[in-house]
Amino acid sequence: MFNISKPKINKEIEQLPEDLSSVQEEETKLGDDITIHAMPERFRSSHIKVGQAKKTGVFIIVAGIIFLIIISGLFYYFFFYNQSKKSNQASVATSTPAVEPAKIEVPVKEPAQIVATTTVVLPNIESMATSTATSTATSTEDIINQPVDLSAGIDSDSDGLTDKEEKIFGSNHTVLDSDNDGYDDFSEVLNGYNPAGAGILSINNNLQNYNNKTYKYNLLYPSTWKQTTSGGDDSIVFKAEDDSFIQVIAQNNKEQQLISDWYKQQFNVDFVDQNNLITNNNWNGIINSDSLTTYLTDSSKKYIFVITYNPASSNTLNYPNLFKAMIKSFKISP
């Protein structure tokens, strides 16, 4: 009865691939009628080796992918991130300006503004006057950056005149009334009188008269101060030993305006403080609230004169009353 399945088993063996059919079969006989055919041992373990090979291949692939990810990350870090970081640092360095000494430009001087310019340059004035003022400063080194924070000069006797001013006028810086005439030195200077003796200020031996023939004006200035011009008579600088200076700039009054109208137009203001108006026998003027710049025009309204006091790098107002005295002595010929 068992022999019935034998042909079927033999038939399945014949259908095996050639490489298997050529292998000597291992047979186990269970009797005369039953024979069991078994696959050789080396073929029974081959499927295990294939599985192990697949696992090894998967491991290699995964390890390769991880390795590529790590390499890509390192490549990005060194070539892109670092370059971006350096670029950002460079841009920050570029955007942060280096600290340099302050360079003070020459702005339009506004009313009641502390002078912080190197010289007076007015808007819409003749280019010749501007260029001359600039060339004068450059060639003679008279124009020095003027400080914004200014302090008063030493006044030992507290009479109103600084010690340096008393030296110029020849008065005693330890006495209120140097010539003992009953008037203190300060009052005499402001009213045009000599504090060191009798008479008017113009006869003081320490002062001399400057006469500008081109613009027909004259004024007193300290004889020890250096007087310079450059490029013409439209810019005159009187320079002290401590580099302080007083400068006079002249220009044509093209529209023949009153000084108040000219001032309003130049500085774009609607009114002028009446306390800042000053007059003399042949000119009218406006003095800034800081008392460091005065604008004048002659009675015929032919010229505009700008007179400015610059204490320069000393940061100290050593000559404010001398400046006022020079303006008071300013005379314009007809």
Q: Would you say residue 137 lies in a domain?
A: yes
Position 62 scores a pLDDT of 80
167 or 21, which is more confident: 167
Among 49-63, 67-81, 173-187, top mean pLDDT goes to 173-187
Q: Would you say residue 26 lies in a domain?
A: yes
Q: Residues 327, 212: one domain? A: yes
Q: Which residues contact 204 (CB under 8 A, 6 or more apart)?
A: 169, 170, 194, 196, 197
274 or 138, which is more confident: 274
Rounded to whole angstroms, what are the CA distances from 269 to 122, 231, 264, 266, 273?
A: 14, 32, 5, 8, 11
Total number of domains in the chain: 2
Domain membership of residue 21 as a residue range: 2-44
Q: Residues 131, 37: one domain? A: no
Give strand ranges (E) for the chain.
Answer: 26-29, 35-38, 151-152, 207-212, 217-222, 226-229, 235-239, 245-252, 277-279, 283-287, 293-298, 303-310, 316-317, 331-332
Q: Would you say residue 194 lies in a domain?
A: yes
Q: Would you say residue 271 lies in a domain?
A: yes
Confidence band, pLDDT 50/70/90 cuts, at residue 88: low
Q: Would you say residue 192 lies in a domain?
A: yes
pLDDT digits (tens, 9 = 90+) for 110-167: 333 333 333 333 433 433 333 333 333 433 233 334 445 789 999 999 999 999 999 9
Q: Residues 324, 204: one domain? A: yes
Q: Would you say residue 277 lies in a domain?
A: yes
Q: 146-150, 202-206, 243-247 — which is least confidently predicted?
A: 146-150
Q: Would you say residue 173 lies in a domain?
A: yes
Does position 319 have pLDDT exceeding 70, yes or no? yes
Q: Residues 203, 323: one domain? A: yes
Query: CB of 53 within 8 A of CB of 39?
Result: no
Verdict on whether the full-model pTM lies above 0.75: no
pLDDT digits (tens, 9 = 90+) for 280-291: 888 999 999 889
Q: Residues 153, 279: one domain? A: yes
Confidence band, pLDDT 50/70/90 cuts, at residue 37: low
Position 57 scores a pLDDT of 75
The DSSP 8-state label assigned to residue 157 in this structure reads T
Query: CB of 230 within 8 A of CB of 139?
Result: yes
Q: Residues 151, 298: one domain? A: yes
Mean pLDDT of all residues belonging to the chain: 75
Position 264 scores a pLDDT of 95
Q: Residues 181, 322: one domain? A: yes
Confidence band, pLDDT 50/70/90 cuts, at residue 10: low
In this structure, the number of other CB atoms found within 10 A of the CB of residue 43 comes to 12
Paired tokens of 222: 């300290």
Q: Would you say residue 122 lies in a domain?
A: no
As a residue count, the chain comes to 334
